[in-house]
Amino acid sequence: MFRLLIVLIVIVIILFILRSRAKSQYNNYGNFYRNLILIVVIGGIIFFLATTGKFLIPQLLNLIKVGLPFLTKLIGI
């Protein structure tokens, strides 16, 4: 997981460098690189959530289960 995070960070840095070069040459590739950076970041987040889902999702459901009574008392239902 840690290696994948490092690879994603390196890819995003490379795309930022390419984006800055594209902006300096007045091409329309600036938006392309911005979209590509967003796709890489969102894809990485989705991948991390999918691979750690067996740990993350049960914890979130447990927090909701514990927090729901407090929330209903706060709202007054």
> Is 27 a residue whose pLDDT tops 70?
no
Sign of CA dihedral 18, 23, 27, 29: positive
Domain of residue 57: give its range: 2-75
Number of domains in the chain: 1
Tell me how far the alpha carbon of residue 15 is from its chain's centroid.
Answer: 16
The pLDDT mean for the chain works out to 78
pLDDT per residue as tens digits for the range 35-71: 888 888 888 887 777 776 666 777 778 888 888 888 7
